[in-house]
Amino acid sequence: MQRSKRRRARGGGGGSHPYHAAAPPAAAAAVRFVWQVDAAVQTDRAGNSPLPNRRPAERPLARCELPSRQQRRASSPRPRCRRAPAAAALSPPPVSTTIPNKSKRTAQDYIFGKVIGDGCYSTVFLAKDIHTGKEYAIKVCEKRHIIKEKKGEYIKREKEALNMLSNVPKGFVRLYCTFQDAERLYFVLSYAKNGELLPYINKVGSFELDVAKYYAAELVLALEKMHSKGIIHRDLKPENILLDENMHLQIADFGTVKILDPEVIRTIPEANIEDNSQSTERERRRNMSFVGTAQYVSPELLRHREDTRASDLWALGCIIYQMISGLPPFRGPNEFLTFQKILKLDYEFPEGFPADAKDLVEKLLILDHTKRLGVEDKGETYESIRKHPFFNGIDWDTVLEQSPPTINPYLPGGSFEEEYTVPDHLEPGLGNNQLVRLWEFDLSTSKGILSISPEERRRRLEAQARENKYHQFVDGELILKQGLVDKRKGLFARRRMLLLTTGPRLFYVDPVNMVLKGEIPWSPELRVEAKNFRIFLVHTPNRTYYLEDPESYALEWARVIDEVRIGTYGQDTT
């Protein structure tokens, strides 16, 4: 009897009608999720439909009482309905994907190409519309992961933020349409053909000042538009800043946004802002959890779990610093130590950091978020930031219509066109060593550095293993050339022992801690370029390595690396 009561309480009371069979808890959760999210992800292709706050009234989750035989014979009106337990449904009701005045969209309308991004519960594909041939970035979210990680509210907020920004012509990725199937949600977004900003910083090391200034100005304009609509991004970083086909900036990834009343965010001081959005207490507690990326998160979020528009201004300061220097200001071996540096405002400017840029960064990276530059500005523009000397020369009315400057590296103090003076430490004379340095031609190795007999290789390897402390790092290969260089990452330089081996391979080792730090990847596309006696560049498909020889043997490094490349892959005919 007790078991029978329990079955009835769960909706499994023994009847044969399908509505009487109990669904497993996971299925019930999935049904509830579809009901909550379905309406939130249906929109027209312009992304203008509002985000609903309740279940659609025309599709109640209900269980109907079967009419009697007499009622059926009498063609009685529609049967009475009463609400059913949520766990009683086996599957979700049919989902409408009708787009007003547009054809119905499904995954079958697109050819999915390569993966261009991924996250904890979504994957972004480059896809082509089979009807128009236009390319899109389609963000595909797995429902089971969203349910498991309780990310339903994040999906709703991302959709709402994208809709709110749909009429802003520049500065943001655009949402064209959304749809879903039984397993996934789909966001059809504009495709930023030139990818993320971060690889460009990594490729060139750091931006020239005019390039950094231009993209900082575009970012300020985007923040103004976003904040004027009450949207706080909370995860601004170079990975979430994309570049379109014309190299203009687009902010992406709105999964962690916070949305406030626009009037509140513009008129009330940051210290007095309260979240008046319609959210449950459970949602408020969940919003207190950490969002953002360790290197760019603001101190107030770490201390008090407060996030206002000042958090985005903090991230702006971090990004400007990184564009100019090559690395973010707060760096640690793990997240905890990075957080400690943020809370202590523990960072420094490398040598050569421009004075105006330094002043701007210092006024944005302030622990008290109410005192950051721009926080006291009223209206829809950050006038105090616009008027900062760093932005001298920027025409704020036309900056978005201009062609962005070409991204080139910034190497103050190491200019390739600097006036040359003869160093005092070089060996005097004009013997073979001097000619190697001056003419990139070694008179003693006319057969090439790779022309080593097996016996000679064996003998040299044995001696190397006994005598060279760097032998342990080269995987048993013969070292052809080694020397100390300063390996630059933007404005930051690290002293490294560079090792060229017969692989061919180029290793670099920390000579103080005796730790292998990395390897420059070899390929037929590798090119070496000597800029002067001290600086030489190694170009690879994905990155350019900036190396400086303190002994002024850059020309010799360039010659030897190029000789090994030609000996391995053949003479370049391009």
Per domain, the residue ranges of the chain are 22-54+96-191, 198-275+287-401, 432-569
Q: Is 22-54+96-191 assigned to CATH 3.40.50.80?
A: no
The pLDDT of residue 60: 36
SS3 392: coil
Tokens read off for 111? 């050819």
Q: Are 214 and 392 in contact (CB under 8 A)?
A: no
Q: Tell me the C-alpha distance between 79 and 63, whole Å.
A: 10
Q: Is 432-569 assigned to CATH 3.40.980.10?
A: no
Per-block mean pLDDT, blocks of 10 residues, the chain (574 long) = 42 38 43 42 41 38 40 44 37 39 79 85 90 94 90 92 94 96 94 93 89 97 96 95 96 92 58 44 44 84 84 97 94 91 95 94 97 93 97 96 87 44 55 50 47 86 92 93 89 90 93 93 90 87 89 89 87 57
What is the enclosing helix (H) or strand (E) of 413?
Answer: none
Query: Could you tell me whether strands 544-548 and 231-232 are parallel, antiparallel, or unpaired per DSSP bridges?
Result: unpaired
SS3 272: helix
The pLDDT of residue 121: 78
Half-sphere exposure of 517 (CA within 13 A, CB side): 14
Give the residue from 525, 428, 442 showing the smallest Cα distance to 480.
442
Half-sphere exposure of 299 (CA within 13 A, CB side): 16
C-alpha distance across the termini of the chain, in Å: 87
Residues making up the annotated binding site for ATP are 139
| Residue 341, number of CB atoms within 10 A of its CB | 16
Give the residue from 166, 175, 274 showing the smallest Cα distance to 226.
166
Give the residue from 249, 36, 46 showing the smallest Cα distance to 165.
46
Residues making up the annotated binding site are 139
For domain 198-275+287-401, give the CATH number: 1.10.510.10
Which candidate in 38, 235, 307, 312 is catalytic?
235
Determine whether 235 is an active site residue. yes
Q: Tell me the C-alpha distance between 279 and 298, whole Å.
A: 23
Tokens read off for 464? 């190397």
Give pTM, 2 decimals.
0.65
